[in-house]
Structure 1
């Protein structure tokens, strides 16, 4: 029996997409040959999605009632965020919910500068508590959960036990791979093709320059400053070295431009390299065009601060490094740093070490043989990262493994927290209200 799957997009989808949008579109494409896929988008700012000829039915929704109708027409839901009332309705109607835990969001959020638009400790604590309530709800109502790597799986297993989602009766002789199979971010099945010059010949970048690319956004936990300082130092002797940031303005207007981008630009300006050695591309590169930029680069760079987030992170941008066959220069401490070091896919440097970063970039820039050997090793691992490979566990669960999918449970108490269908719109409104006199009065009343 061919199952029906409803994929609910957690972020803006369309021409310009960040990691969550790219992931859900790619998973819908990969699953379409195996199950009947309906792709539902309801986040403000979303547009038409190109599914590249895949047999995916795309729909839009704008209310809980519309989403509940879609739920009634499917066998399973794949989602990251969902209105808890809709989730309860799904469980009661026998629909299986598969939650995407591909990032350890509580870990990512706890150290963020702002949570739901709030930046004071009491407000952040309150919003964080709501986030934990939501994930406790997920752990109880879900039939299956997917995550990105072994570190994250250990985190989520502990969270599930503490939440009451994993108890003796639900364990039922299963092991961790049955409860939390791995579904990491993947690499495109097709090869990248340059349709035009993305960087060279513009932005002050010539054919002879050595181009480093930062292939994604600059979020709170990233360290753009160390590569900027390294490039500024190297450019004194080798002005060919250029660093490009091509994801500065998130396609979701609620997120917009992080403060970390402004700090990075200010540092580049202070060092006298803004617009010359360090280039920031405004807006967000459309998903279908990012190959033009990646293929114009020589090496990809990703750096982060040492933090709790780093320990459990899975840097999705690294898959674009592999896709474009780019050697990586990365900070140590996360899962991918270990993988890149073990497989010889680039150079790994200590966090916040400008000299080590400059040395690694300098080695890549001056040693063509090193780059060539690194690309050969990248070629050896690429196929294992394609979406057809990374989604294999979910394909199995929805086909041959369907009978092992346990139904979720409706929480006995009020463990859930309502996640509005248009949460991004509400967040934008709350952020505006938070900074007004009304927001101050509300917080004062709530504290009392």
Structure 2
């Protein structure tokens, strides 16, 4: 328990917290837990039932009235909120306490992929709104969190164009780590423990000796479960003991994350190939406390996505679950964690959209004598480097000594550089036109002198 004079930190969540949580809710919960050892923490979020965590306070949010957070802001020394929440609580951009914007989900690339099935006017409207929101976040936050160095480079580019890379922020810290730093999704410091069987010998379609492929999260529109299902169709022609399990195809907080079209497309393909309820199983979102049982019972973790810019800046939280459980994996190349899988021999990496290569990789890993045991040392080393306590260190340091960004503290208007550039450009155009006229004047005078 933090002392009574410790920093008062308000964490806002756009995801529900409770027995069944998705990645954003888990992230807020874990950051609250880590921060509560040195700060007085209030976690405000849509809630599932009564929650009484030890060490911090939980306050329910409706996400429907901007004014509902005003009393919480009045009692806080610093506020931590996902970048998306600026749309619900616009006062965050002008709040008089330091604001930490959690931008670990790269909205600029993810929403391009998630909206691709909509009609063009809808896509453009959503894109313009998302871009305006992200620009507002990056222009006004005192400290920005991202999930990887790739994401940080992306955001630094955006922030440079908005004027946030300026003499004030540079003099404060030439590395800009005091303005934006990496706080990835983390792992529990304790290894998972299996408490009961959940699939093998329990589910009617899964025999005790079967091999389970685990898709460790939702079926979102920016993933590619279709290639995986096609690969499984190839695999089961060679061995009948393989089962693909989707434990949470739809998000638990459907008010904010509705069922996506890709979910039905996956079900339809599985049905068409005759795999559903025999080789491919669609379940429901797992309670958090059951997650370890499924991870430890599975034989291979899988994650597949199409090629694209979304993958480059993604940080797949489901792969972190595989890391925590020491679960060998087969994943699509293209994102930062796929690079880690390849570099540390945590499984196999395949080209996106290649069902043949994916099937071959699955069969290869299944043929190994002990794929999990042979990689135990690598998994343990990686997991130890990604505990929540390690990952959250930059945020903990900030909250222990919260500060306004140097340019915001100085009253620097980040909109001014754009206006100055426009004025300079307009002035340059006038001067160029004047020089052109002067050139023509000299040529005409030369003609007359002849």
Q: Which stretch shifts more, 142-151 or 194-203?
A: 194-203
What count of residue pairs does the alignment treat as equivalent? 403
Gaps of 5+ in 1: 416-448
- Say whether the 8 Å CA contact 2:213–2:244 is kept in structure 1: yes
Q: State the distance in 2 between where 1:412 and 1:173 align.
A: 17
Q: Tell me the equivalent position of 1:23.
A: 27
- Say whether the 8 Å CA contact 2:44–2:61 is kept in structure 1: yes
- Say whether the 8 Å CA contact 2:98–2:404 is kept in structure 1: no
- Say whether the 8 Å CA contact 1:364–1:371 is kept in structure 2: no
Q: State the distance in 2 between where 1:307 and 1:218 align.
A: 17
- Say whether the 8 Å CA contact 2:51–2:58 is kept in structure 1: no
Q: What SS does the corresponding residue of 1:181 show, helix, strand or coil?
A: strand
Q: State the distance in 1 between where 2:164 and 2:73 align.
A: 22
Q: Tell me the equivalent position of 2:233.
A: 232
- Say whether the 8 Å CA contact 1:397–1:405 is kept in structure 2: no
Tell me if 1:372 matches 2:373. yes
- Say whether the 8 Å CA contact 2:159–2:165 is kept in structure 1: yes
Q: What SS does the corresponding residue of 2:297 show, helix, strand or coil?
A: coil
Q: What SS does the corresponding residue of 2:330 show, helix, strand or coil?
A: strand
Gaps of 5+ in 2: 417-450
C-alpha distance after superposition, 1:126-154 (max 9, x if no partner): 22212211122112221101111111001
Q: 1:199 to 1:51 in 2, by over 3 A?
A: farther
Q: CA deviation at 1:236?
A: 1.6
Q: State the distance in 1 between where 2:195 and 2:102 align.
A: 33
Q: 1:406 to 1:102 in 2, by over 3 A?
A: same
Q: State the distance in 2 between where 1:142 and 1:413 align.
A: 12
- Say whether the 8 Å CA contact 2:98–2:402 is kept in structure 1: no
- Say whether the 8 Å CA contact 1:110–1:128 is kept in structure 2: yes
C-alpha distance after superposition, 1:151-182 (max 9, x if no partner): 10010011112223333323324213222111
Q: CA deviation at 1:403?
A: 5.3
Q: State the distance in 2 between where 1:411 and 1:203 align.
A: 64
Q: Tell me the equivalent position of 2:146.
A: 147
C-alpha distance after superposition, 1:156-209 (max 9, x if no partner): 011112223333323324213222111000112232223332212214112100
- Say whether the 8 Å CA contact 2:163–2:415 is kept in structure 1: no
Q: State the distance in 2 between where 1:132 and 1:403 align.
A: 27
Q: 1:40 to 1:414 in 2, by over 3 A?
A: farther
Q: State the distance in 2 between where 1:340 and 1:231 align.
A: 21
C-alpha distance after superposition, 1:338-383 (max 9, x if no partner): 1110011111111111121111111111112444222331122111
Q: 1:110 to 1:51 in 2, by over 3 A?
A: farther
Q: Please give the TM-score of this superposition, normalised by the length of structure 1.
A: 0.85
Q: Tell me the equivalent position of 2:99.
A: 97
Find 1:38's aligned residue among 19, 33, 42.
Answer: 42
Q: 1:50 to 1:60 in 2, by over 3 A?
A: closer
Q: CA deviation at 1:20?
A: 0.7
- Say whether the 8 Å CA contact 2:170–2:176 is kept in structure 1: no
Q: 1:371 to 1:291 in 2, by over 3 A?
A: closer
Q: Which stretch shifts more, 364-373 or 261-270?
A: 364-373
Aligned Cα root-mean-square deviation (Å): 2.3
Q: What SS does the corresponding residue of 2:248 show, helix, strand or coil?
A: coil
Q: Please give the TM-score of this superposition, normalised by the length of structure 2.
A: 0.84
Q: Tell me the equivalent position of 2:80.
A: 78
Segments ≥4 residues shifted beyond 6 Å: 409-415
Q: What SS does the corresponding residue of 2:389 show, helix, strand or coil?
A: helix
Query: Which structure carries more relative contact order (alpha carbon 8 Å, separation 6+)?
Result: 1
Q: Tell me the equivalent position of 1:439.
A: none
C-alpha distance after superposition, 1:17-37 (max 9, x if no partner): 111111111111111101111
Q: Tell me the equivalent position of 1:165.
A: 164
Q: CA deviation at 1:414?
A: 10
Q: What SS does the corresponding residue of 1:98 show, helix, strand or coil?
A: strand
Q: Tell me the equivalent position of 1:267.
A: 269
Q: 1:199 to 1:407 in 2, by over 3 A?
A: farther
Q: State the distance in 1 between where 2:13 and 2:166 align.
A: 30
Q: State the distance in 1 between where 2:227 and 2:119 align.
A: 28
C-alpha distance after superposition, 1:96-142 (max 9, x if no partner): 0000011211111123236xxx9221122122212211122112221
Q: Tell me the equivalent position of 1:133.
A: 132
Q: Tell me the equivalent position of 1:199.
A: 199
Q: State the distance in 2 between where 1:278 and 1:383 align.
A: 33
